[in-house]
Amino acid sequence: MADIIQLLPDHVANQIAAGEVVQRPASVVKELMENAIDANATSIKLLVKDGGKALIQVIDNGKGMSGTDARLSFERHATSKITKAEDLFQLTTKGFRGEALASIAAIAHVGMKTKQDHEELGTAITIEGSKVISQDTVVTPTGTSIAVKHLFFNIPARRNFLKSRTVEMRHVNDEFQRVALAHPEISFVLHHNDSELFNLPASNYRQRIVNLLGAKTNEKLVPVEESTEVLAISGFAVKPEFAKKSRGEQFFFINQRYIRSPYLNHAVNAAFEGLLKEGTHPSFFLNLTVDPQTVDINIHPTKTEVKFEDEQTLYAILRAAVKHSLGQFSITPALDFEMSQSFDTPYNYKDKVVGSPKVEVDPSFNPFKDDYQSGSRTNITTSKAQSLKTQSTSWESLYIGLNDTNSLEQGTALEIESKASNETLFEDQSIEGHTKTYQFRKKYIITSVSEGLLVIDQNRAHQRIMYETFLKHITVQNGVSQQLLFPLQLNYSNTEISLLAEVQPDLEASGFVFTKFEGDNLEITGIPAAVLESEVSMILDQIIADLNNEIPEHSFSQADMLAKSMAKVLSIKSGKVLNSQEQEHLVNSLFACKETMLSPFNKPTFITLTHDELERKFM
């Protein structure tokens, strides 16, 4: 039998490795920017076209490479970061696998220009699909410039799986922010299609956060600082009242490397316990410094998942540090046992001698001597007021005017209503003497139909009604708008503004009117007729959260997502009391919808209890 096992060619092995390292244009951005940081660059510029599908170029002013190093950098497992296996446990650099450039060159057209500071001329290399096309000596500035064009040009299936330009650019933007937040001492610039999105000068950590997420972020930040032998923590948490519906602004950095860790996320959530609204998540930007020997970052090709040697200790320290910061800056309620008691004493009594309280008892008082009238109404008469005057003189001031007969005649008598005894099952009755609907547990609407009883979930039913209403307004573009007396000013980060800009036409079709849509500012002068001004911020926050989670690509799915988001926020919630007219209107509106049985999120809106099912219950 012939041998069937054979070694793969290098270009095939590189393409397989590229599938682990390069998943989308954002993966290329991450690898190239981290290489620039390892080259001790103080200025990094990122140029992107068509969401990274056409061009990704990273230009840095680092130390550059020689001609030989430039050529070797595209070979597999070629790296200057480690020399022996023990170095894997002392990593202080970003890229150490030696696979990034080789994997990128296997699936794209790559051009590199690099020069060292002490050299007069640099090196230019062109590679297409792992094949070196040319290597020349050129004039170029100190540092390295790498341009990646036509990503996945030789793997059409992978290229077809890429999302739209907007979605891919969103992922590129996320990677850019993660690298920029990890290194505030480096200046970063991001250009997309010849327009500048970010220009971040070298600064401190707080200023870097503000430059990325907007000027209003500064007042939301709470410093978090802690230093122990095991772990050093620095960074900021966002005040609980500014919590978001999505987890987009949660950043952990281990030794200046962005990571994802559900375990550490739980520690921060535990510190915010009791301070957040339901359905919201805290935002934070935390730098954790640990001994490189106690953390393993080599368990995943993207190096975003790590393994700690002592997770329980890190969990306890992180939770305590965040909770202490929230308490230190008066975010959480606390008891201050060191506060001076003089602050609790009114100024008029600060020099007054405190005396012992005296108990005065009237031995002649008998509560059973008064003749109280029984019935539905009891009046305190003038004789009652006269008898009260016989009590201790210290109580006289409380009953001034009770002995005035004229005041009692004018309606100042105290009247106590007795509880009505003729209560009925239904709070609100119709003219015929019975209700058509009944609200149970402030959640369900019960009404009778020919088959039996209909039990409707008021929240899901109203979601369906609002969803179809908004979807019709968006698709037909006939939303009714109400003008605001004063423009509504809202602030979001540049990323959130770009998300809202994607659905701006659909928002305007539903009734929103925007007069400013740039930077980190949003100005609204008109809102849909069914929306209150206080609900606008909640609607936009929900839309941003849904866009981050679902990432729709087509206009129809965007309109559908937008209608769902608005219906979720504006629908009647469980616990709201509805009168009989509101209940009947809800039932009639539900059965006027095109789809009555399911909510927009595919949950049943009602159930039916038939006569036979009710009869069997009594057998």
Do 519 and 494 lie in one domain? The reply is: yes
Residue at 98 is within a domain: yes
Asked if residue 430 is part of any domain, the answer here is no
Sign of CA dihedral 90, 93, 95, 96: negative
Residue 127 within a domain = yes
Q: In the chain, pLDDT over 90 holds for what percent of residues? A: 28
Give me the CATH number covering residue 479.
3.30.1370.100
Instruction: Please state, as a whole number, how many other Cβ atoms lie within 10 Å of the Cβ of residue 297.
Output: 19
Q: What is the pLDDT of residues 448-482, one digit of tens each?
A: 888 888 899 999 999 999 999 988 888 887 778 88
Q: What is the pLDDT of residues 29-44, one digit of tens each?
A: 998 998 899 889 999 9
- Confidence band of 331 (pLDDT split at 50, 70, 90): low
545 and 477 within one domain? yes
Q: Is residue 503 part of a domain?
A: yes
Q: 249 and 183 in one domain?
A: no
Bridge partners of 64, per DSSP, are: none
Chosen domain end from 200, 227, 242: 200
Q: Which of 200, 221, 242 is the last residue of a domain?
A: 200
The pLDDT tens digits for 195-232 are 888 999 999 999 999 998 888 888 889 999 999 988 99
Asked if residue 230 and residue 186 are part of one domain, the reply reads no
pLDDT digits (tens, 9 = 90+) for 562-593: 888 889 888 998 888 888 888 989 999 999 99
Report the C-alpha gap between 95 and 104 in whole angstroms.
14
- pLDDT number for residue 420: 47
Work out the average pLDDT over 495-502: 83
Per-residue pLDDT of 43-80, as tens digits, reads 999 999 998 989 999 999 999 999 888 898 888 777 76
Helix (H) or strand (E) holding 384: helix 382-388
pLDDT of residue 141: 93
Is pLDDT above 80 for 510? yes
pLDDT of amino acid 516:
81
Q: Tell me what pLDDT residue 49 has.
A: 93
Q: Is residue 136 part of a domain?
A: yes
- pLDDT, one tens digit per residue, over 443-457 is 999 988 888 888 999
- Which range of residues forms the domain containing residue 393? 382-412
Cite the DSSP H helix spans in 123-261: 156-160, 165-182, 205-213
Same domain for 162 and 213, yes or no, is: no
pLDDT at 558: 77
Domain count, the chain: 4
Verify that 76 and 193 share a domain, yes or no: yes
> In this predicted model, which residue has the larger pLDDT, 427 or 525?
525
Kindly state the average pLDDT of the residues 20-31.
86
Mean pLDDT of the chain: 81
In tens, the pLDDT along 235-279 reads 999 998 888 887 878 999 998 889 888 889 999 999 998 888 888
Nearest to 38, CA basis, from 234, 300, 303, 260: 303
With the C-alpha atoms ordered 571, 575, 576, 582, is the resulting torsion angle positive or negative?
A: positive
614 within a domain of the structure (yes/no): no
The answer on 103 and 22 residing in a single domain is: yes
Going by pLDDT thresholds of 50, 70 and 90, the confidence category of residue 374 is very low
* Confidence band of 144 (pLDDT split at 50, 70, 90): very high
Q: Verify that 540 and 578 share a domain, yes or no.
A: yes
**Token pair belonging to 110:** 């790559």
pLDDT at 199: 92
Mean pLDDT computed over 547-555: 59
On whether both 478 and 398 belong to a single domain, the answer is: no
| φ, ψ dihedrals at 470, nearest 5° | -70, -40
Rounded to whole angstroms, the Cα distance separating 183 from 203 reads 9
Distances (CA, A) of 151 to 192, 422, 453: 16, 79, 61
* 513 lies in some domain: yes
233/154 same-domain check: no
Written as six digits, the tokens of 186 are 């480096």
Do 232 and 188 sit in the same domain of this protein?
no
- What global pTM score does this model have? 0.71
Instruction: Give a yes or no: residue 57 inside a domain.
Output: yes
Residue 456 belongs to what H/E stretch? strand 452-457
Element (H, E) at 235: strand 232-238
Give residue 106's pLDDT: 87
Give the end of a domain, one of 397, 412, 427. Answer: 412
Residues 193 and 216 grouped into a single domain? no
How would you class 588 by CB atoms within 10 Å of its CB: exposed for 0-12, middle for 13-18, buried for 19 or more? Answer: exposed
Q: Which amino acid is at 519?
A: G
- For residue 120, give the CATH number of its domain: 3.30.565.10
Q: Is the per-residue pLDDT at 158 higher than 90?
A: no
* Residue 394 vs residue 360, higher pLDDT: 360
The pLDDT of residue 178: 92
